[in-house]
Amino acid sequence: MMTNILTVDFEEWFVVENLRDNMAGEDWDSLTPRVEENAYKLLELFQAYQVRATFFILGWVAERYPNLVAGIVRAGHEIGCHSYSHRRVDLLSREEFEKDTRRAVRAIVNATGVMPVGYRAPSWSINSSIPWAFEILADQGFLYDSSTFPIKHDIYGEPDAPRTAFRMTLDSGRTLYELPASTVTVWGKNFPVGGGGYLRHAPYWFTSWMIRKLNRANRPAMIYIHPWEIDEKHPRVAGLTAFQKYRQYGAISTLMIKLERLLGEFDFSAAKDYIAMLNRRPIGFER
């Protein structure tokens, strides 16, 4: 059976792009924290199914919950980097991105003693318009990136980006693997397979069908979730539009149920395990 990839964007509920205009970064320390309680629910679920996942850790969270982040490592999961301050990379300068990444890595290493080798940008915000971002990641010792999403979306996405994992040869001569978010092409359009609001709102049969379609093509599906997406006590924010509420709170009560079904039906492992497998065989192409 094909082994798929399970990832967690490990962040607080108030850092997301959907709430950017409502939650200033300087206010984060005064807001109700929820990541710890939700983390333990996920860890218990993954332990019950004996599954190893990749937790892309926000540096801001690692600084405030070092014991929690260290516990994720002790539970056998991979630790990756999800930036420090959850700012879109395509809105940062090269210098700002380099500084943010170094700060995040330092926080993660201080908490765990582990150097992350995988990076995921906030809001899937690395794309071909900022090739310097890949150079910075390679320079800082990352083995792979997982920040591209080959779809059209109002916040992120690059529909023409490669849909399968590949190895980039950078201008510097270094290499970096890219692990894009999973999509299935239906009627000429790329549909996201399973993560975030797509996983919460899609009927389970549709998610299961898309994963099986990828697996039949000898491709793993990459699932991504956020701790706040399983939180039925998710704090409510005033002043949101109906669409923002739908994105933030919609179908939260269903995600744990869907996750349990997915873990029971499919095999999953960490992103690093898949990259290790690619390292042992030729990759489809280089870019």
Whether the per-residue pLDDT at 279 is higher than 80: the answer is: no
pLDDT recorded at residue 283: 39
- Considering the domain boundaries, does residue 284 fall inside one? no
- Considering the domain boundaries, does residue 287 fall inside one? no
pLDDT in tens, 100-135: 999 999 999 999 999 999 999 999 999 888 999 999
Q: How far is CA 200 from CA 54, 68, 149, 197, in A?
A: 19, 25, 18, 5
pLDDT recorded at residue 259: 97
pLDDT recorded at residue 222: 96
Whether the per-residue pLDDT at 286 is higher than 50: the answer is: no
- Considering the domain boundaries, does residue 285 fall inside one? no
Task: Write a three-state SS string for the chain.
Answer: CCEEEEEEEECCHHHCHHHCCCCCHHHHHHCCCCHHHHHHHHHHHHHHCCCCCEEEECHHHHHHCHHHHHHHHHCCCEEEECCCCCCCHHHCCHHHHHHHHHHHHHHHHHHHCCCCCEECCHHHCCCCCCCHHHHHHHHCCCCEECCCCCCCCCCCCCCCCCCCCEEEECCCCCEEEECCCCEEEECCEEEECCEHHHHHHCCHHHHHHHHHHHHHCCCCCEEEECHHHHCCCCCCCCCCCHHHHHHHHCCHHHHHHHHHHHHHHCEEECHHHHHHHHHCCCCCCEC
- Considering the domain boundaries, does residue 44 fall inside one? yes
- Considering the domain boundaries, does residue 107 fall inside one? yes
pLDDT recorded at residue 135: 96
Report, as an integer, the average pLDDT of 184-207: 89
CATH value at residue 47: 3.20.20.370
- pTM (two decimals): 0.94
Q: How confident is the model at residue 201 (pLDDT cuts 50, 70, 90)?
A: very high
pLDDT in tens, 8-55: 999 999 998 888 887 776 788 989 999 999 999 999 999 999 999 999
Q: How many domains does the chain have?
A: 1
The parent domain of residue 11 ranges over 3-279
pLDDT recorded at residue 154: 63
- Considering the domain boundaries, does residue 188 fall inside one? yes
Mean pLDDT score of the chain: 91
- Considering the domain boundaries, does residue 166 fall inside one? yes
pLDDT in tens, 135-183: 999 999 999 999 998 877 666 667 777 888 989 989 888 999 999 999 9
Whether the per-residue pLDDT at 226 is higher than 70: the answer is: yes
